Amino acid sequence: MPDERDGVPGDVLVEEGPLGLIVRPRGAAAGPVVLYVHGDRHLTGDPEAALDTAGRLARRTGTTVVCARYRAAFPTALDDVQAAYTGCGSTEPVAVAGEGIGAGLVAALLVRLRDSGAPMPRRAALVSALLDLSLQAASLQLNAAADPGFDLAELRRRVAAYAEGTALTDPLLSPLFANLHGLPPVQLLVAGTDPLLDDSLAFAARGARSGVTVDLQVRPDAAALRAAAVPALAAFIGERSPAAPTARPA
């Protein structure tokens, strides 16, 4: 049954679903669905942590937002996110969005859907995305001082546990190494002081070279990114675009 939760706008309802939490504007008719994949520093996807973003996004866009629940290990995490995507069952392709490791799972989902010839989402948005689990980006060191909560050694430990022996350059674990041809339009939102800045910059460059429409927005710092993220996501998701390719590229 729908309920109300702390931190969620009063005109938004939350419902427990088999694959996560379902957030929708109160009284809204059935319509497009956004799949949102949260991710924290522990590489876990607690859908409760996504409710503030999901509630504000649902209210701005008038869409239903499904907050995916996934296990904190690869490849089961990606399997869970794909199941949530398939379970959305929208009559038109859903938009997908994610943050942190959740954004990395969204990017990997796009690659897996393309390679299998499955229907693709209309658009995808990645916020402060963790896209390279080999953790070689220079910004991990250069921007560490701007984020007191960031611990590279701890992130490496958690990545090793999450990968469960998979090569860290596997394209579905680290989609920065994937072939990006044929993906739908992608938005990347990141802060200039973010330790993960280089992941977004590199993905945007590779996507553009592969013919993907890319909307890269770099905010000055984490506070500016937090303030701008939901309005930017809502504007991007609300734009109309041609249907994304469904066939695997040659």
Q: What is the 3-state secondary structure (H, E, C) of the chain?
A: CCECCCCCCCCEEEEEECCEEEEEECCCCCCCEEEEECCCCCCCECHHHHHHHHHHHHHHHCCEEEEECECCCCCHHHHHHHHHHHHHCCCCCCEEEEECHHHHHHHHHHHHHHHHCCCCCCCEEEECCCCCCCCCCCHHHHCHHHCCCCCHHHHHHHHHHHHCCCCCCCCCCCHHHCCCCCCCCEEEEEECCCCCHHHHHHHHHHHHHCCCCEEEEEECCHHHHHHHHHHHHHHHHHCCCCCCCCCCCC
Percent of the chain surpassing pLDDT 90: 75
pLDDT attached to residue 44? 77
Q: Is residue 222 in a domain?
A: yes
Contact criterion met (CB below 8 Å) for 190 and 128: yes
Residue whose C-alpha is closest to residue 233's, from 125, 98, 128, 104:
125
pLDDT attached to residue 91? 53
**Residue 172 sits in which domain range?**
12-238
pLDDT attached to residue 241? 43
Residue 199 pLDDT > 90, yes or no?
Answer: yes
How far is the C-alpha of 87 from the C-alpha of 83, rounded, in Å? Answer: 6
Residue 246 pLDDT > 70, yes or no?
Answer: no
Contact criterion met (CB below 8 Å) for 200 and 126: yes
Q: Is residue 179 in a domain?
A: yes
Residue 156 confidence class, pLDDT cut points 50, 70, 90 = very high
Residue 29 pLDDT > 70, yes or no?
Answer: no
Query: pLDDT (tens digit, 9 = 90+) per residue, 159-189?
Result: 999 999 999 999 999 999 999 999 999 999 9
Q: Is residue 145 in a domain?
A: yes
pLDDT attached to residue 42? 75
Q: Is residue 229 in a domain?
A: yes
pLDDT attached to residue 235? 95
pLDDT attached to residue 106? 98
Residue 247 confidence class, pLDDT cut points 50, 70, 90 = very low
Residue 121 pLDDT > 80, yes or no?
Answer: yes
The CATH number linked to 48 is 3.40.50.1820
How much is the mean pLDDT over the chain?
A: 89
pLDDT attached to residue 243? 43
Q: Is residue 26 in a domain?
A: yes
Q: Is residue 246 in a domain?
A: no
Residue 3 pLDDT > 70, yes or no?
Answer: no
Query: pLDDT (tens digit, 9 = 90+) per residue, 51-101?
Result: 999 999 999 988 899 999 999 999 999 999 999 999 987 556 689 999 999
Residue 153 pLDDT > 50, yes or no?
Answer: yes
Residue 26 pLDDT > 70, yes or no?
Answer: yes
Mean pLDDT lowest among 99-103, 122-126, 205-209, 246-250 = 246-250
Mean pLDDT of 231-244: 75
Q: Is residue 40 in a domain?
A: yes
Domain count, the chain: 1
